[in-house]
Amino acid sequence: MNGRALSRRALLRTASALAPAAILGMGSWISRPARAQTPLKWANLTPGFTTLLTDYITAKQLAKANGLALGKPTSYTSVSTYYNDFVAGNYDVCIGSWDTFASRYLAGVPLQYVCSVTTGNMINIVTREQAVRTLRDLQGKTLAAPQSTGTYRMMRAIMQEIDGIDLEKVATVQNVDNPAASVTLVMANRADAGLTWEPNVSMGLQRVPDMRVLYSAGVAFRQKLNLDLPYFGVAVRKDAIARDPGLVERLNRTFQQSIEGIMAHTDEAVKIAGANSGTSPEVLKTAIESRRMEFKHASMQTEAGRRSILVANEFLQRSGALPRIVDGGFFAS
């Protein structure tokens, strides 16, 4: 009798103690441990502007603030190894050109595109030649360009669609290994023009006073279609999303906040990136303030974000740079 009464009193005390938790929606807290953050691996390219994003996110602890367990990014110096390791699943989150991700997705790689972070304003043709004032003035001229890159194929497609000019039929294209080499040849008067992208554009303009921008892919695209030409963005492996269904929203928020911080506090941001970018803070600041290196967040959770990719994809399909249009599964939502 007393044992039963004691048990009843103990049960009532326990129920009273648990009542506030039940009211607050925490009744299952005692029986279920709190869910830990899923560790994520990410990477950057050094030298390169991707370190502006990764270093700023790390310095400002934006990942932690948004519930992401992002450790120190793995730094790559080889572009091909950087992308190949992402494709192989050696890391989860990659910052790269949207068309590279699209081509890998169309080939069956299990990835999704989260957001765009820069526009095609970064992609430019530069020249020192006073006689070269329009694209048609490149007739018979030499243009240095890294022809193996998706950026070259994107520029060529934009020119064909918007200006009706096939770069390879107008100019003699001299292949180079990287975008910096295009600028170097123009500086040395060994090429009449060069196809390159930021921060190499600003670096060349700083060193050679008579160098100027002849053509901007991003500006031409926006003038024609009233849309931003997407360039670099963030992709994530599907298995990482499967482990954490809220991952896409938190990644979007983290990169949006990093871009807002970089644009609002540019001096601080370029100092944070420091030597990892391979470019002086002064050149990076010039590139950003000129709007050629235009950091702009566009979420694939929005119709506008998806439309910018699909329109650009149509250009690249017609030019043969991409085999077909991505389906809805490409976009992380």
Q: Take residue 10 and report the two structure tokens written for it.
A: 């103990």
Span(s) in the chain for CATH 3.40.190.10: 42-120+229-325, 123-225
Model pLDDT for residues 6-28, shown as the tens digit of each residue: 444 443 343 443 333 333 333 33
CATH topology of domain 42-120+229-325: D-Maltodextrin-Binding Protein; domain 2 (3.40.190)
State residue 10's pLDDT score.
42
Which residues neighbour 151 within 8 Å (Cβ) at sequence distance 6 or greater?
97, 123, 179, 195, 197, 231
Q: How many CA atoms lie within 13 A of 273 on its CB side?
A: 27
Interval 19-45 mean pLDDT: 53
Interval 45-71 mean pLDDT: 94
Cβ(230)–Cβ(97) below 8 Å: no
Handedness of CA 181, 74, 82, 123 (dihedral sign): negative
SS3 123: strand
232-237 and 111-118 strand pairing: antiparallel
Residue 117: enclosing H or E segment and its boundaries? strand 111-118
What amino acid is encoded at 169 in this protein?
K
Q: Is 134's pLDDT higher than 70?
A: yes
Phi and psi torsions of 261, nearest 5°: -70, -45
State residue 53's pLDDT score.
97
Model pLDDT for residues 237-262, shown as the tens digit of each residue: 999 999 998 999 999 999 999 999 99
**Angstrom distance (rounded) from CA 320 to CA 99:** 12
Handedness of CA 15, 21, 24, 27 (dihedral sign): negative
Residue 189 gets the label, from left (phi > 0), alpha (psi -120 to 50) or beta, of left
Bigger pLDDT: 21 or 222? Answer: 222
Phi and psi torsions of 62, nearest 5°: -70, -35
Per cent of the chain over pLDDT 70 is 89
The CATH number of 123-225 is 3.40.190.10
State residue 273's pLDDT score.
84
